[in-house]
Structure 1
Amino acid sequence: MSKTIQYFLAPQSPWTYLGHERFVAIARAAGARVDVKPFDVGRVFAASGGLPLAKRAPQRQAYRLVELARWSQHLNIPLNAQPAFFPVPADPSAKLIIAARTALGGDAALDLASAVMRAQWADDKNISDDAVLAQIANSCGFDGAMLVKSAQTAGVQAEYDSNTNDALAANVFGAPWYVVDGEGYWGQDRLDFVERALQKP
């Protein structure tokens, strides 16, 4: 019987971006089902003692840039650690991914998430702009205008809120966060452990 992975993602997170393609490949190789759950990481930070980047100590901010460069080089994934549009409101892109999952399924949502994060972290796009989001969705072969409109509905907002409540209930405190068999794994650098968990009977 295939396993289900709860994937709590924040599209404005460079760490989610760096791990996304590897995570999707691991999940598909294991035949696992991915429950794509974009969530409000700001609400989770507020509840769990996390600080937004601008409020972190200078040495923490500086080391973050060093680590992002290291991981980008190690994984051979293009990344601009200081993009033109950052910090950026993440609600529009997160809700777009939810709209894609609702209308088109989990695989479409994963593909769109990949394109959105690449636009943010490699292509210097503003992922809070509806026109940009529509273009990104179109580039994936989806109806961008339809998804942007759907993303603004009360139903999608309710699911976004529900995902965030689920994250709080699962003791999530950062992104990306993966849950396998009830056990949480924080960060793209824990993907080896996620892969091992998927191999357990």
Structure 2
Amino acid sequence: MKVIHYYLSPRSPWTYLGHERLLAMTKKFDAVVEPRPFGLGESIFPISGGLPLNKRAPQRQAYRLIELKRWSEFLGLPLNLNPRFFPVDDLAAAKMIAAAIKPNGNEAALKLAGALLRAVWAEERDISDPDTLIQIGDENGLDGALLYASREAATDVYDAYTQAAIDLQVFGAPWYEYRGESYWGQDRLDFLERTLAAS
């Protein structure tokens, strides 16, 4: 079986830009995607040299906007360069994705992840707001209130994914791992596709 471990952050624009392409690619090659929401900002950045956006040098912040605009136009995906609710605390959203995996399956969790990413980057919605999170869950065929209430029970899963990311030496999102090989960023999906095609 072809299994891809997908380390994601529901507030990451790069995760947003790559999400649907990853899912389309894996369907093409009959691969399974296991979503792994993890603690990028609070756990990974401090040990990997990463910085929150507002602490990065001005030239890095400026170039980030250029690249986001380029990729958005290239992929034909709507993207607000300065969304209303960003930066945003995405811990509850990430734990909701983790909570959805076991009872609802990977595909349902991936659908929820895609909706949360769109909420931030295309729909001007606040994924730190409980009512918004519940509504997004409902919109995607899940019991939003139950899923939100279950998020803290999924902390062990979230923490396990974060530790797995640390062990894998992940330092950004999205991060894809397939058969021991890592690919960082949505701009590496072409390399992942070649590997899938050859395996």
- For the aligned pair, the TM-score class normalised by the smaller chain equals over 0.9
| Structure 1 letter corresponding to 2:36 | K
Structure 2 partner of 1:87: 87
Partner residue in 1 for 2:161: 163
Residue 130 of structure 1 deviates from its aligned partner by 1.1
> Hey, what does 1:10 align to over in structure 2?
9
- Matched position secondary structure for 1:25: helix
The structural deviation recorded for 1:16 is 0.0
Aligned-pair distance for 1:23?
Answer: 0.3
Runs of 4+ with >2 A deviation: none
Task: Give the one of 172, 175, 179 matched to 1:174.
Answer: 172
What are the Cα deviations for residues 166-195 of structure 1, in whole angstroms up to 9, with x where unaligned?
Answer: 001001000000001101000000000111
More displaced stretch, 27-36 vs 103-112: 27-36
Q: Deviations over 1:30-64 (max 9, x none)?
A: 11111110001011111111111111000000000
1:152 deviates by 2.4
- 5 Å-filtered alignment, 1:56-75, equals 56-75=56-75
Structure 2 stretches lacking a partner, 5+ long:
none
Match of 1:186 in 2: 184
Cα RMSD between the aligned structures? 0.8
Partners of 1:199 and 1:138 lie apart in 2 by: 36
- Residues matched between the structures, number: 198
- Counterpart-to-counterpart distance in 2, 1:33 and 1:161: 22
- 1:141 Cα deviation from its structure 2 partner: 1.4
Cα distance per residue 1:7-38 (max 9 Å; x no partner): 00001000000000000111111111111100
Output the CA distance in 2 between the equivalents of 1:21 and 1:105: 17
Match of 1:114 in 2: 114
Distance 1:62 1:99 in 2: 36
| Structure 1 Cα separation of the partners of residues 129 and 27 of structure 2 | 31
Shift of 1:91: 0.6
Q: Structure 2 length normalisation: TM-score?
A: 0.98
Partner of 1:31: 30
Q: Which runs of 5+ in 1 are unaligned?
A: none
TM-score (norm 1): 0.97
2-structure distance, mates of 1:52, 1:174: 11
Alpha-carbon offset, residue 100 of structure 1: 1.1
Q: What letter is aligned with 1:124?
A: E
For 1:112, give the aligned amino acid: L
Distance 2:50 2:152 in 1: 28
Counterpart amino acid of 1:189?
A: D
Distance 2:103 2:88 in 1: 25
Q: Distance in 1 between matches of 2:144 and 2:94?
A: 14
2:78: which partner in 1? 78
Distance (Å, rounded) in 2 between the aligned partners of 1:11 and 1:134: 15
Question: Over residues 82-129 of structure 1, what are the superposed CA-to-partner deviations in whole Å (9 max), with x where a residue is unaligned?
Answer: 111111111111001111112200000010001111011101101011
Alignment partner of 2:128: what SS? coil
